[in-house]
Amino acid sequence: MRFVLFVLIFVGLVGGITSPASAITHGWADRADHPEVGALIADAQQGDGTWAYCTGTLISPTVFLTAAHCGHKGQQTARVSFSSHYRAGDKLYVGRFVPDPRYTGKSHLNDMAVVVFSEPIPGITPAQLPPLGLLDQLEAGGNLSGARFTPVGYGSVDPTRKSHGWQYHYTDTRSQTAISFKSLSARWLELSPNPERGEGGTCYGDSGGPNYLGGPTSNLLVATTVLGEDDGCQSTNVDYRLDTPAVREFLGDYVRLP
C-alpha cells in the first residue's frame, strides 16, 4: 500500500479526513540539490513496479524526519533510500520508526515521525531546522508575502484527469518545484502554486517531505508535507510548521534544535 498525504476538506484545519493525496507536480528532477531528502521504501514493489511510498529528510546524521501517517500501527522499523532515482538493489538504511506519541490519526495534529539510525548516514549533510517562531517573525516583518518555497519529494508527478478520476504517475525519482506563500496559522503553513510563474506543488507520495524556505538549493527546512486540498494536486498545500513549541517538544528528544 502506498502511503500518501491526506486531502482535507477543512474547517479551521481540523475537519474530517476524506480521500488521500501527496507528490511534486510541475517540477523537475532534484538530482544532487537535496541529497538529505530520502524515500521510505516498501518491502515489496507497488502494483506499478515502483517502491517509494513516502518522503522524509535527514535532520541529523542519525535522524530522518517524516510523517506519522506514513507508518502503520505497531511499525517498528523503516527502510530509507537517499538515491535520487531509486532502483531495486540501491543502498538502504534501516532504522527505528518512532511516531509522535500524540498523533492519533483522527486529526492531522502532531503528524510527525522519525527514523532513528544506529550509525550516522555517511556523506550527507543534514537539513537545517528553523529556530522557534521563525515564520511568525518573518510574517510580522512583512517578509513572507513574497517568499518562495521549495518542496521536494518522491511522489506522483503531474496527475492527469481521466473519465473515472485522476491517474497518478510514479517514477521513484526525487523531484522539486517552486511554490508561493499563501497564509500562516498557529500550526500550518499554506503554500499555493502560481501557474503563471511555472510553480507546482505536492501530491501522492510526498508525505513527510520537506518544504524549504528559499530557492532550489535552500537547506532551511521550515515545514513538512501533510495535506492537500484537491485530488488533482493542483491547489493549496497545507504543511506542518517545524518552528512551533509542539513540534520542538517531540523533535527535541532526538536532535539538537537551534
pLDDT digits (tens, 9 = 90+) for 205-244: 899 999 999 999 999 999 999 976 545 466 688 899 999 9
pTM of this structure: 0.89
Residue 158's Cβ-count burial label (10 Å; 0-12, 13-18, 19+) is middle
Q: What are phi and psi of 44, to 5 degrees?
A: -140, 155
How long, in residues, is the chain? 258
Domains (range + CATH), the chain: 35-126+245-251 (2.40.10.10), 134-241 (2.40.10.10)
The string of pLDDT tens digits covering residues 66-87 is 999 999 989 999 999 999 999 9
The string of pLDDT tens digits covering residues 8-52 is 322 233 333 333 334 577 788 898 999 999 999 999 998 889 999
Confidence (pLDDT) at 2: 42
Nearest alpha-carbon partner for 20 in 57, 67, 58: 67
Confidence (pLDDT) at 156: 75
**For residues 125 and 136, what is the distance between their CA atoms, to the nearest angstrom?**
27
Pairing of strands 6-8, 210-213: unpaired
Question: Grid coordinates representing 247?
Answer: 513540534
Yes or no: say if 6 and 17 are a contact pair by the CB < 8 Å rule.
Answer: yes
**Residues contacting residue 26 through CB under 8 Å, at least 6 positions apart:** 158, 177, 193, 195, 198, 199, 200, 201
The string of pLDDT tens digits covering residues 91-148 is 999 999 999 999 999 888 999 999 999 999 999 999 999 999 999 999 999 999 989 9
